[in-house]
Homo-oligomer: A and B are copies of this chain.
Amino acid sequence: MEDLMKRFNRPIFLSALLAVTANTCAAKSLNDVMERRGLTEKDVLAAAKTYVPTGKRDDYIVFSSGGQSGQVIVYGIPSMRLLKYIGVFTPEPWQGYGYDEESKAILNQGRIQGKDITFGDTHHPAISETDGDYDGKYLFINDKANPRIAVIDLHDFETKQIVVNPVFKSSHGGTFVSENTEYVVEAAQYPAPFENEYVPLEQFNERYRGGMTYWPFDRKEGRIVAEESFTVMAPPYSQDLSDFGKGPSADWTFTNSFCSERYVGGIERGRPPFEAGCSAKDTDFMHVVNWRKAAELVKAGKATKINGHDVLTIDTAVKEGILFLIPEPKSPHGVDVSPDGKYIVVSGKLDSHTSVYSFEKIQTAIANKNFEGKDPYGIPIIAMQAVLHKQVQLGLGPLHSQYDKKPCVIYTSLYVDSMVAKWNYCTGKVLDKISIHYNIGHLMTMHGDVKHPEGKYLVALNKLAIDRFNPVGPLHPQNHQLIDISGDKMVLLKDMPVPLGEPHYAVAINAKLLKPAVRYKSGWNSRTNKRSAYKTRAGREKTVKTPGKVEVFGTTIRSHITPEIIEVTEGDEVILHFTNLERAEDETHGFALYGQNVNLSLEPGKTSSFRFIADKPGVYPYYCTEFCSALHLEMEGYLLVKPKGYQEVAMEAEVGATYTEADYDKQVKENVATQAVIDQVVGFITSHNYQDFPSVVALVEDATDQLGFAKETKAKSEAAAAKKDWQNAALWANQWWQYQVKAADIGLRAKTYLEQHGAKKN
């Protein structure tokens, strides 16, 4: 006790913390926790800055590329809690992605020359923009390994489209969007012939090409219009990252490059490797393209068709004055246009300088034809010195830059130094530096690549974690570090291990700008965003048999799948459609079937399908894979595949458990008692303004459904009892009770919600 008093007298803490009762204080006080866990004051501040209590929300939502996992990662800031992995280029069964027919159709769009490609190397996500700021409607992401772009709808966080680049064989510098998402740009990486044919490496200079592909986006349909896309061809330099201009520079894109040496390695045949030949020169080239004029040229028929796709050749681009080159320091990585669109910041990763180019000076040089020469392909080269605003020595291995809310303030990642530099790109002054762990690639500030950055936080996307986390084998997680940039000095707040994939770039959006749905319209095909042709309503379930084919129109609801028995014949094509009848938030059902590689994720309202050939006679149990309710294990059924030519034998099933009149009476008594509880809950809800709460309205609708079912089964039970069929009377009475219990459960959820959200009495 004395010891306890001593603790009280020590000059510690929040007086309020001391005010808690003595018996719990010793164990719980912040001071004790700090001592026990070896935390510094800085640690506690960082903990308090990042902790998000149960039920509270994060301020920003991050969309991060998932690298070779082929997925997009969603997490919250400041908590750094992962919220979702979205299946994009790689099938993912929890989401049913690649396991239902609707999503297979999306993945099939991504086939490369007829082959299924079941992964992607996602690199750079981009949020759709309106007037140069994020609008939170769509997300785009590229695949470097097999040049593709995916469209994700932020209404439901699902992938809706994959388009394949028709001319590139790899693509790193995508995706970036124009100010009003008219176009998504994607640059090539490793040069290759545009045609899908063999060209010897000896013809690298003549026939291998790079370029920038511009994909128009139809915002109303939420889809890229692939047939109207076009490519501006570029020399066989390895094009790297791109950015769209903003404001004054909005009609332009900027794409940098490495290996403008056009070197071809071959270490196995005694030649210096690519890394030697591709890093020999002091400068590479930024590609400056007037995309708006390019689009007009394509419309005007100036494009050449390659693989059926519109390509503006280098000659055309030069002749029409839409393509220029500017030298930039050795092997640049990021090209980042300032919020006002006046500057372009480029870091050469093998140079310690970061260069700030002036867009105005670039325009002047172009207008005055102030070129220092032409590259071997005839593209005018603008002299670097003529258009440089500043060049700043930040440290070793500068890569990418992001902008702050404060004017002229910018943050640049330093890969080799493992640091972030904060500096002023107007004056060139370095303001602060912070060490990260380890080897940062991209970095991200809040809205840091659009017209109105919000500052506040920075995330360092580190490429190595090494010793930061508990070891989990030779393959390490990546490390995203959250840094507080609200003050003058950057402060490290938190390390987040990335458990799957290697993120490259990420974008963060103010959570207020996202308005995702919690359910689909009833009977919805989420991938086409249209009513499903297979929508099935409660009571309208059916199994349609035609020669060689069995088609099931089924439903799921707490806690049964309709139908529960499906009989087919060996060799039949079996097509299953299920509609989830639920409306309540988070009431997803699943569907898995033994031996057939299917898992459907049926969120409220969704309709999903699965088809297979029943090629082996047997017994195939199926069940709901989501723990949706107390009776989820009983949410089961059997698909039976009869052998071809099977002769039905009339059989009477032996009954398992049997029930008596007493069983029936006992159940009815319980049901009457349960109804009293339900009436109370209903009374509470209807005596309050529940209609003002959309989530409660959905719950009330679900509960009303369940009560309707209860009424139907009550009638069945009573009808059986009237016939003294106690077996069915007792079973239906039990089912009547199951419906009641579900109605009560949903009702209680609604009541709790109303109580917690200040509903008013009518």
Task: Tell me the nearest residue of chain B to A560, going by C-beta.
Answer: B273
Chain B proximity of A202: nearest CB distance (Å): 4
| A586 at interface, CB cutoff 8 A | yes
Would A264 and B653 count as touching, CB distance under 8 A?
A: yes
Chain B proximity of A383: nearest CB distance (Å): 19
Highest count of chain B CB atoms <10 Å: which of A112, A520, A641: A112
Copies of this chain per assembly: 2
Would A113 and B595 count as touching, CB distance under 8 A?
A: yes
| A93 at interface, CB cutoff 8 A | yes
Would B656 and A261 count as touching, CB distance under 8 A?
A: yes
Highest count of chain B CB atoms <10 Å: which of A240, A273, A333, A620: A273
Would A651 and B732 count as touching, CB distance under 8 A?
A: no
Instruction: Report B-chain residues with C-beta under 8 Å of the C-beta of A41.
Output: 14, 16-17, 20
| A616 at interface, CB cutoff 8 A | yes
| A743 at interface, CB cutoff 8 A | no
Task: Tell me the nearest residue of chain B to A399, going by C-beta.
Answer: B630
Given known contacts A472-B74, A636-B190, A499 and B656 CB-to-CB distance under 8 angstroms? no
Would A562 and B267 count as touching, CB distance under 8 A?
A: yes
Would B617 and A198 count as touching, CB distance under 8 A?
A: yes
| A665 at interface, CB cutoff 8 A | no
Instruction: Report B-chain residues with C-beta under 8 Å of the C-beta of A54.
Output: 437, 468, 481, 492, 494-495
Task: Tell me the nearest residue of chain B to A745, going by C-beta.
Answer: B416
Of the candidates B57, B541, B616, the one whose C-beta lies within 8 Å of that of A469 is B57
Q: How many residues of A contact B (CB 8 A)?
A: 235
Chain B proximity of A709: nearest CB distance (Å): 10
Chain B proximity of A309: nearest CB distance (Å): 16
Q: How far is the CA of A477 from the CA of B40 in the complex (A)?
A: 33
| A697 at interface, CB cutoff 8 A | no
Instruction: Report B-chain residues with C-beta under 8 Å of the C-beta of A640.
Output: 198, 200-201
| A441 at interface, CB cutoff 8 A | yes
Of the candidates B39, B52, B500, the one whose C-beta lies within 8 Å of that of A94 is B500
Would B192 and A269 count as touching, CB distance under 8 A?
A: no
Would B499 and A73 count as touching, CB distance under 8 A?
A: yes
Chain A binding surface SS class: loop
Q: How far is the CA of A306 from the CA of B649 in the complex (A)?
A: 25
Would B48 and A169 count as touching, CB distance under 8 A?
A: no
Interface positions, chain A 8-32, Cβ under 8 Å from B, are 11-17, 20, 24, 27-31
Would B27 and A48 count as touching, CB distance under 8 A?
A: no
Would B94 and A473 count as touching, CB distance under 8 A?
A: no
Interface positions, chain A 478-511, Cβ under 8 Å from B, are 481, 486-489, 491-492, 494-497, 499-502, 504, 511
Of the candidates B12, B115, B636, the one whose C-beta lies within 8 Å of that of A14 is B12
Given known contacts A48-B34, A121-B592, A564-B273, A601 and B200 CB-to-CB distance under 8 angstroms? no
Would A634 and B34 count as touching, CB distance under 8 A?
A: no
Would B74 and A93 count as touching, CB distance under 8 A?
A: no
Of the candidates B496, B516, B520, B595, the one whose C-beta lies within 8 Å of that of A146 is B595
Chain A, residues 329-342, CB within 8 Å of chain B (1/0): the string is: 00101000000000
Interface positions, chain A 57-114, Cβ under 8 Å from B, are 57-58, 61, 66-70, 73-76, 80-85, 90-95, 99, 112-113
Instruction: Report B-chain residues with C-beta under 8 Å of the C-beta of A642.
Output: 198
Q: How far is the CA of A652 from the CA of B202 in the complex (A)?
A: 6
Would B559 and A473 count as touching, CB distance under 8 A?
A: no
Stretch of A179-187, A275-283, A683-691 on the interface side: A275-283
Of the candidates B27, B49, B488, the one whose C-beta lies within 8 Å of that of A37 is B49
Q: How far is the CA of A590 from the CA of B493 in the complex (A)?
A: 31
A-B contact pairs, 17 of them (CB 8 A): A46-B51, A75-B499, A94-B501, A113-B595, A157-B475, A198-B617, A201-B565, A259-B634, A261-B656, A267-B562, A268-B565, A271-B564, A275-B559, A275-B735, A397-B630, A474-B605, A502-B626
Q: Closest 5 A-B residue pairs measured CB to CB? A: A262-B656, A47-B51, A276-B735, A268-B563, A474-B603
